[in-house]
Structure 1
């Protein structure tokens, strides 16, 4: 199982590990799941479990890169040139015969070239007069010929194992004549939202003490965008037994517990799984917001506990859940944390003893932190599209200073 963090006794407040240390532990556990072959149509966003090798050459034969006339360089001289047309070659057609001195073939883009030709003169520079083609001047520059195998040849590795399939990479796999690829399996996620007070959105107004469950749907969308399948979504009361039994509801690779992560009288998120033999890998991370986050293993199942405060939960999911999914999917933890340096467009006050991740909005000018950094707030998330990372005890950041920024999905 590897290194586990020391779990503090009830009532303790000090963090037990910093963000980078917790992320390193997560990376050590987030190993790819099983392999499977899928159709290219279903491979979008998946990570390759095996390289994609070309099955054919591309191009498969010398072909025209432009519409025009295939000629021999030896026939091109200064002044107007007249060549006799032998016919037309189309893409996908049979290769035309050879051309001799003073001859040409009309060719369409992608069409095979006649033997002996070494240049295509663009159609804009030619005049067709019966059987003769007139070139007003000898062409210069590119020959507009794509040589056989000039892009790749059979056996070339075009996509490495671990590559994430995108629309552009689907072009490559298709061009290599593959109808399917071998990928790592998508993680199956079970979401468990806890709290006596939470009801489905749209129902809370019927009860005076209820609040809408604003997190389950958002975390589900984040999981899907990160490349996972959410197999079940439960909303449970603050009941330790009910939470412990939730793991039996679905065959999941990851259980995400939303709420009950702190040390209140009804915070049963961690203790419910501890009763089943949970091995905690880290907890109480020195970050703000989201200090109560915890992560462990229950056999082969990964269990991640998110705080119940909405902004804290969303921040922690961006920092830990998305990377966990990336690692289990065959990618790198860093794939889900594409930090970039951007200029701060507003002053940022000095930071306290815990590393902070501040909600901010991005523009072409840089990042502007939101006015209110409230872990339990929700309205701020309507403005935030990135997190600004601030080291512990960081001094004031002035307008124009470069700060690390993480775009939010």
Structure 2
């Protein structure tokens, strides 16, 4: 019987302000909501997971956390990938000779997402905003994990359905929308800004609209990527919802 070991995934957060959920925080601090979500999702996808703790807002601290995790198949970080004064994640990995596959994507939310590799370890730098991070986790990390695991069907599949209520979109970039699915239609969640956490457990799936889409009329056919169950494909498919 042919077998393959579980994919080893290491997770760490970046930012002096982050604290674990079991600590009391002060006004200048934030709970690290991303790391528990990343770890739980990786476990659901069949991985061996390791939490490498948190990194401070310095290049040396980021490099230290990264080096300790390089025995993993996949390192997932969040935060520090934008253009702020303390956003050093990309620079730290660059100093570890990371080969960058892409840095920045024309999608919202999640534009700063960066993916590359240090040696044989795949690196995914996700945004710090929780909803943006998890949406791009579903789009990119899930595929990477299935690919590393040797799956014969690593690509996203979709369910073709109809949107249940009209929804306006700011055009110009690919846009992801979380929503609920009741078996007969997809209803976009009313509130889903990049920094929110509460919409995530409500979402059964997501759709990705083309940059030219500004309005999804009720009844429009959309391509939904399920979150709470698996639909996968052996080959790449067009997963984007085009103008009606």
SS in 2 for 1:373: coil
TM superposition shift of 1:233: 3.0
Structure 2 residue ranges without an equivalent (≥5): 229-244
TM superposition shift of 1:339: 1.4
- 2:150 is aligned, of 330, 338, 346, to 330
Q: 1:187 to 1:262 in 2, by over 3 A?
A: same
2:48 matches 1:196:
no
TM superposition shift of 1:336: 5.4
- 2:6 is aligned, of 150, 172, 186, to 186
TM superposition shift of 1:373: 2.8
TM superposition shift of 1:385: 2.0
Q: Is the 8 A contact 2:52 2:65 kept in 1?
A: no
Q: TM-score, normalised to structure 1's length?
A: 0.53
SS in 2 for 1:243: helix
- 1:218 is aligned, of 2, 23, 37, to 37
SS in 1 for 2:10: strand
Q: Is the 8 A contact 1:216 1:233 kept in 2?
A: no
2:92 matches 1:272:
yes
| Partner in structure 1 of residue 117 of structure 2 | 297
TM superposition shift of 1:364: 2.1
Q: Is the 8 A contact 1:186 1:328 kept in 2?
A: no
Q: TM-score, normalised to structure 2's length?
A: 0.88
Q: Is the 8 A contact 1:204 1:210 kept in 2?
A: no
2:75 matches 1:241:
no
Query: RMSD over aligned Cα, in angstroms?
Result: 1.5
SS in 1 for 2:215: coil
| Partner in structure 1 of residue 192 of structure 2 | 373
SS in 2 for 1:184: coil
Structure 1 residue ranges without an equivalent (≥5): 1-180
Q: CA–CA distance in 2 between the matches of 1:313 and 1:352?
A: 21
SS in 1 for 2:82: coil
| Partner in structure 1 of residue 140 of structure 2 | 320
1:47-69 CA distance string (max 9 Å, x none): xxxxxxxxxxxxxxxxxxxxxxx
1:302-346 CA distance string (max 9 Å, x none): 1110000000000010001110000000015x5352211111011
SS in 2 for 1:403: strand
| Partner in structure 2 of residue 209 of structure 1 | 28
- 1:364 is aligned, of 183, 186, 197, to 183
1:42-94 CA distance string (max 9 Å, x none): xxxxxxxxxxxxxxxxxxxxxxxxxxxxxxxxxxxxxxxxxxxxxxxxxxxxx
Q: Is the 8 A contact 1:199 1:213 kept in 2?
A: yes
| Partner in structure 2 of residue 396 of structure 1 | 215
Q: Is the 8 A contact 1:312 1:375 kept in 2?
A: yes
| Partner in structure 2 of residue 162 of structure 1 | none
TM superposition shift of 1:351: 4.2
